[in-house]
Structures are given as structure tokens and as C-alpha cells.
Amino acid sequence: MKKKVVLITGTNSGFGYLTAKSSALKGYTVYATMRDISGRNAAKAAELAAVENINVVELDVTDGDNVTKTVAEIIAKEGQIDVLVNNAGYFGGGIAEAYTTDDVEKMFDVNVKGTWRMLKACLPQMRKQGEGLVVNISSGLGRFSAPFMTVYNSTKFAVEGLTEGIHYEVRPFGVDVVLIQPGAFPTEIFGKSTYGSDAAVYNEYGDLAKVPEQIGAGMGQMFEAMKPNPQMVPDAILHLIELPKGQRPLRTVVDGMTGEFVERANANVKVDYANFLTAFGMKDLLG
């Protein structure tokens, strides 16, 4: 039996890096993608490339031609793509009004359009195979929008909507498209945070402009006290990979601190959503 081929975006750090290593240890053929593998990410690229079963590939999810070409090359070499993990993305905090249109477009280009480009490139092969799995990394903040993380949250809301609709559209082809909703974990994503570039707005918000810094300090204290393990996310992804097709849940919450809040919301919506699809003649898509 041929090894599963797993394609992961954003493997230079965080969940992507851990998922690449964990998938390789399971014996899967891993394509660990990232930008700038000869420059700023050279050390991480070399580290992953030294791991058995991992192929490190240059890929920029904001470049449609690069995405199409890279995916086509992997398919030509392997003859299949079994799993796509859409992990590439970045976090942004601060006052929402301080984000310019360009700031918002940049974040959506990576977090949302990047996910879409990868889906668009991989789904035809998965449909042809009659099976496949796409795991889109969302967030608990894709279900509830906390203040001072508003623009980031909105990208995750978009990923949730994109995934939920496609989940039902491609199930008849044997393809599962699902979500991981992580909580907060101590990964590099917070060290790479961006903020709105309209600095004048912060002056107009007075003391409220200090709240994002206070949130960051509080999160650091929470990490120190509860020590959430980022490995929980790749473990959840591997569990989804190993489940039979058609039996993978649409949403998987991975959050040992505040996840019950999101779990309850997911459960409540799931019931009414099933009623909605049934009422509009789409009960068969529920599986």
C-alpha cells in the first residue's frame, strides 16, 4: 500500500512545523512548504529536510501561479495528494480601526485567499482519487470575535464559512474538508504579530490602546500557569487523518483552557444546521 502524501503549508514554525515532523514519524510522505527556504527560513528548512520522509518545498500561498505549479509538480511525482493541511497564516492584534485597507487585504490574502488557492489546486486531484482530506486551521476566534483581535478573527470567520460550505459540497466525491479550532498556544505566531499601521488612530483611543498589551501580558501568565502543549494540534490532525473517510467531524476543538465554550456553540449550531439543510432538500449531504 502506497504511503499517504501529506502537503502542509506554513511549516517554518508553530503547528505547521510540528505537524510536518509528526506526520513524518507516522511514515507519511510529507511535503513541508514554506517561503524563503534559502533565506530567512533556511535553518528550519534544513532541519526539516534532514528528517526522514520530509520533502521541503518553496511555496507562497499568496502567489497563485506558484501554488498551481507546486501542487502540479507534487502530483506528477507522487500521483496523489491524500492530505492537505492549510496552516499558513499570521496573527494580528490591536485596534481594528488602526488597520488600513492594505493591512486588511494583506491578512486576508494569506489567511483566507491562501487557503482558497490551496483548496482550488488540490481538490481536483482528490475528487479524481475518490478520497482525500483537507484540514483547515481556524481558531476558537473563528466562532467568537474577541475585541482587539478583530481583523484576525474576521479572517478565521471567513475560513470557517468557506470550509463549512465546501465540506458538504465535496462529500459526495469521497473528500473530507474539515476544521481544527485551536485555542491559544505558546507558538511563534504571537512573536510575529502585526498591528494596524494607522498610528494616529491609537492616540485617539487613549487608554483603550493599552489593552492589547495587557491582553498579551495576561496570555503570557496563562501560558506559564497552564502550560498548554502545542503538540495537541498535530495530534488532533493525525487523528483526523486516521479516521475513515466520511466519519471525520466538520469541527475539532483543540483547546484545554477555554475549549468548552466553543464546543457548546458548535454542538448547538450543528443541530439547527442539519435542520436547515434538511428543510432545503439537502439532507443527503449530511451523510
Catalytic residue among 152, 168, 195, 202: 152
Q: Residue 181, exposed/middle/buried by CB under 10 A (0-12, 13-18, 19+)?
A: buried
Give the dihedral sign, CA 220/12/16/118: positive
With CA atoms as reference, report the closest residue to 89 among 178, 161, 182: 182
Any catalytic annotation for residue 28?
Answer: no
Per this entry, what is the length of the chain?
A: 287
Residues 236 and 254: beta-carbon distance below 8 Å:
yes
Q: State the cell numbers at 274.
A: 442539519
Residues 114 and 88: beta-carbon distance below 8 Å:
yes
Q: 252: which strand partners?
A: 180
With CA atoms as reference, report the closest residue to 97 among 187, 238, 210, 197: 197
Residues 112 and 155: beta-carbon distance below 8 Å:
yes
Task: Give the catalytic positions in this structure.
Answer: 152
